[in-house]
């Protein structure tokens, strides 16, 4: 493995990443880059961050051996990194706290966020309440419908939720609207971006804040099984939970890194959200990366049962890891993810998020191809409470 020290000073991961934004935001992003560089090794900042993770989030999150599921799959042993047990129910809080602490130090009293499944919105609303900041969350009107419990949760926490009616009314449009807010209120506002995508420095700083997932795993796995896993598997929406798990493992030889995208109705139908599996590089939302786009360079509408994966782009570091072959990217369909969702409920007594169910579904396919002594570590990025309406609806049940 080559020494891996990316992004470069301009925010590039090879040919990906960068800062493709309107001029109005350039100085705000420069400022954020400078401030982050100043605090990322600041002992006081890091101590506060660690303290919040421990006492507010409940870290470290455990790793759990899913024995009955492994047996049912027949093959490799499946372990779960339990990000679903974090406060607010997903990995998103790790990033939201890190950025909110930066916002606090930069004197910003208003935070904004985009959200798909609502998990990042809830995490942002939570930390805004915790630190006494005004909070506005942009959410596609379609997702507001799909994720009603999370919308209410954000409101309970004191956030304003703005339904976005433009475009496909999903995560990408929420991101557009958050950018528009930021351009307008750039002096007073900190944009807490919810995934490892967007313009530099976001892919880097989000990655750094969520890398606690992989860092802990690297310590926990040897404690449990005496070695590192053979493969780590994570779902990929914008790519934060995946890069959080992958990044610490990049230099560890022998560990396969597998990202699972939303295959929707199947890659062959075109109705999916799998840019790494079936897209081409382009520029959207501040960075160059793999994208779902048509021949004219227009962004294509995506489809996934999971709101958090329903996004046509992906963080630039994943594009780079794909091209250099360090990580593999695959897709599973809505139906496969739903089967995995129910299996985890029944075999292990854990209700997973539909996003995380994609990673579980691929682990279930991979396990039988490996020996019983091999180990797959799945990043269980979130819990499924928010998804029970969706799952009930698919079964024709109204709650």
Ligand X SMILES: Cc1ncc(COP(=O)(O)O)c(C=O)c1O
Catalytic residues: 92, 114, 381
Q: Rounded distance, CA 112 to CA 124, Å?
A: 8
Smaller CB separation from another protein, 129 or 283: 283
The correct pick among 154, 284, 327, 360 for binding another protein (CB under 8 A) is 284
Residue 268, contacted partner among ligand X, another protein, none, CB below 5-8 A by kind: none
Binding region for ligand X (CB under 6 A): 90, 116-117, 119-120, 195, 235-242, 308-309, 353, 355-356, 381-382
CA angle 343, 349, 351 (to 5 degrees): 70
Question: Any idea what DSSP says for residue 55?
Answer: I
Minimum distance of another protein from residue 189's CB (angstroms): 11
Smaller CB separation from ligand X, 204 or 236: 236
With beta carbons less than 8 A apart as the criterion, state whether 257 and 328 touch. yes
Looking only at the bridges linking them, the beta strands covering 110-115 and 134-140 are parallel
Q: In what order do the strands lie in the sheet with 286-291?
A: 12-13, 16-20, 286-291, 280-284
271 binds another protein per the rule CB under 8 A: no
Residues 6 or more apart whose CB falls under 8 angstroms from that of 197 comprise: 203, 206, 238, 239, 285, 286, 287, 289, 313, 314, 315, 316
Residue 353, contacted partner among another protein, ligand X, none, CB below 5-8 A by kind: ligand X
Smaller CB separation from ligand X, 155 or 372: 155
Classify burial at 22, counting beta carbons within 10 Å of its beta carbon; exposed 0-12, middle 13-18, buried 19 or more.
exposed
Minimum distance of another protein from residue 128's CB (angstroms): 22
Question: Any idea what DSSP says for residue 54?
Answer: I
295 binds another protein per the rule CB under 8 A: yes
Smaller CB separation from another protein, 10 or 51: 10
Residue with the two structure tokens 């942009």: 138
Rounded to whole angstroms, what are the CA distances from 247 to 121, 186, 191, 221, 240? Answer: 24, 31, 23, 16, 10
How many residues belong to the site for another protein (CB under 8 A)? 36
Question: Any idea what DSSP says for residue 132?
Answer: T
The correct pick among 6, 28, 144, 236 for binding another protein (CB under 8 A) is 28
Minimum distance of ligand X from residue 215's CB (angstroms): 16
Total Cβ atoms within 10 A of residue 313: 33
Minimum distance of ligand X from residue 361's CB (angstroms): 13
179 binds another protein per the rule CB under 8 A: yes
Minimum distance of another protein from residue 109's CB (angstroms): 17
Residue with nearest beta carbon to ligand X: 382
107 binds another protein per the rule CB under 8 A: no
Interacting residues with another protein (CB under 8 A): 10, 18-28, 166-167, 172-173, 176, 179-180, 183-187, 282-286, 291, 293, 295-299
């Amino acid at each position: 493995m080559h020494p891996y020290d990316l992004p470069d000073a301009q925010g590039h991961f090879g040919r990906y990443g960068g800062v493709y934004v309107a001029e109005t935001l350039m100085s705000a992003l420069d400022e954020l880059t400078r401030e982050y560089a100043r605090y990322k090794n600041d002992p006081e900042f890091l101590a506060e961050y660690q303290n919040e993770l421990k006492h507010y989030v409940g870290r470290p999150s455990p790793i759990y051996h899913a024995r009955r599921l492994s047996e049912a799959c027949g093959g490799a042993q499946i372990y779960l990194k339990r990000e679903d047990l974090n406060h607010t129910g997903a990995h998103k809080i790790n990033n939201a706290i890190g950025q909110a602490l930066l916002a606090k130090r930069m004197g910003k009293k208003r935070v904004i966020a985009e959200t798909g499944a609502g998990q990042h919105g809830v995490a942002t609303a939570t930390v805004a309440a915790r630190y006494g900041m005004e909070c506005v969350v942009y959410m596609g009107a379609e997702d507001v419908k799909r994720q009603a419990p999370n919308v209410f949760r954000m409101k309970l926490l004191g956030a304003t939720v703005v339904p976005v009616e433009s475009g496909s009314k999903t995560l990408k449009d929420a991101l557009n609207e958050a950018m528009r807010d930021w351009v307008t209120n750039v002096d007073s506002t900190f944009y807490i971006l919810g995934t490892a995508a967007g313009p530099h420095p976001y892919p880097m700083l989000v990655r750094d804040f969520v890398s606690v997932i992989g860092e802990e795993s690297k310590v926990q796995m040897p404690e449990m099984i005496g070695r590192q896993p053979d493969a780590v598997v994570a779902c990929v929406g914008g790519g934060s939970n995946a890069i959080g798990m992958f990044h610490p493992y990049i230099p560890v030889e022998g560990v396969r890194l597998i990202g699972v995208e939303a295959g929707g109705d199947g890659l062959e139908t075109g109705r999916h959200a799998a840019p790494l599996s079936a897209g081409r590089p382009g520029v959207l939302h501040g960075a160059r990366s793999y994208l779902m786009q048509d021949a004219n360079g227009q962004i294509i509408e995506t489809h996934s049962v999971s709101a958090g994966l329903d996004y046509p782009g992906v963080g630039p570091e994943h594009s780079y890891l794909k091209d250099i072959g360090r990580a593999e990217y695959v897709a599973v369909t809505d139906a496969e993810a739903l089967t995995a969702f129910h299996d985890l409920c029944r075999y292990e007594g854990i209700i997973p998020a539909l996003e995380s169910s994609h990673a579980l579904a691929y682990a279930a396919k991979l396990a039988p191809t490996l020996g019983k002594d091999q180990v797959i570590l799945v990043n269980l990025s979130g819990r499924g409470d928010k998804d029970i309406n969706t799952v009930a609806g698919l079964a024709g049940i109204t709650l």
